[in-house]
Structures are given as C-alpha cells and as structure tokens.
C-alpha cells in the first residue's frame, strides 16, 4: 500500500504543471484502491473559468472513471487547503478522506477559516489530514507569487 506522501508527490507534480503554465500552482489527485483515478491542476486562467480549481477537475475525472458521482471509497490529495467551493464539492462527492499540504489562511475551508468537511450539520463528513508535504506545497506557491510580483502582476 502506497503512503500519503507518495500520492501527495503526485499532487505536487500536478501543481508543477500549473506553475509551468503560469497558473497558481495547486495540484490534486483522487485515489481509489491505491490507484490514481483523477488528476487536476488549477486552470482558471487558461479556461477562463472560476471553478477550474485542481480539486474540481480531479473530482470530475474520478467520477468519470468510476462512472459514479459517489466517490465513497476514495481519498483526495491536494497541495493547498481547499476553498469553500472545493470543500463543498468534496462533501457532495461523498469523498471520505481529504489529505492536503499547506494551510490557506485566506481562503481555507477545511481547517483555517471554516470546517466544511467536518460540519456535523451536513449529511456527510470527511476525515481531514492537513500538513502532508506542506512545506513543499507552500514553497511552490511562494515561488509563483514571487515571480508574479517581479513581473508586477499580483
């Protein structure tokens, strides 16, 4: 059985693909029975789509692979703490486990600002494991934003 770090490295590879395409470097993979069945990286700029977050793309790919919207036996690995949209998508997809890297103090909806995946008022709760390869995930984000500032963009 492969480790959380193994799959987080796959999510980091997706984040590097986003970085190469000048997107915010966030990557995600969905794992089912020790196999990656969905991959995604941020593509908001390329697709001109505010919902084109890494998690949403990976979840859609995984649902297509399983031919079911219920991802009940899956784990989602993502390099940055999901936002409220993505946290909602995780709950709606019935994903039982979320593993993420860096905390997001400005938009994190799983630990930092909100706790959507564990909210007892919802009909599904998600086990959340933060901090797996969090430093590497944060380093990619710092690199991206440093480049953007140097170009006078963000």
User: How far apart are the C-alpha atoms of 79 and 15, rounded to whole Å?
Assistant: 7
55 is catalytic: yes
The backbone region for 46, taken as left when phi is positive above 0, alpha when psi lies in -120 to 50, beta otherwise, is alpha
Which residue in the list 14, 23, 55, 81 is annotated as catalytic? 55
23's tokens: 């997107």
β-pair partners for 129:
99
Residues composing the chain: 154
Query: d(Cα 61, Cα 38) in Å, to the nearest integer?
Result: 5
Active-site positions read: 55
């Amino acid at each position: 059985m492969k480790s959380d770090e193994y799959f987080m490295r796959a999510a980091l590879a997706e984040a590097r693909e986003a970085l190469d395409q000048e997107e915010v470097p966030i990557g995600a993979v969905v794992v089912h029975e020790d196999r990656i069945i969905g991959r995604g990286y941020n593509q908001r700029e390329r697709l001109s789509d505010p919902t084109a977050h890494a998690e949403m793309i990976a979840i859609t790919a995984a649902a297509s692979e399983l031919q079911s919207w219920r991802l009940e036996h899956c784990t989602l690995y993502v390099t940055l703490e999901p936002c409220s949209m993505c946290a909602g998508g995780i709950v709606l997809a019935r994903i039982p486990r979320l593993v993420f890297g860096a905390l997001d103090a400005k938009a994190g909806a799983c630990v930092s600002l909100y706790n959507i995946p564990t909210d007892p008022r919802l009909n599904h709760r998600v086990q959340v494991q933060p901090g797996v390869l969090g430093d590497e995930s944060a380093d990619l984000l710092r690199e991206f934003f440093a480049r953007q500032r140097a170009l006078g963009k963000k």
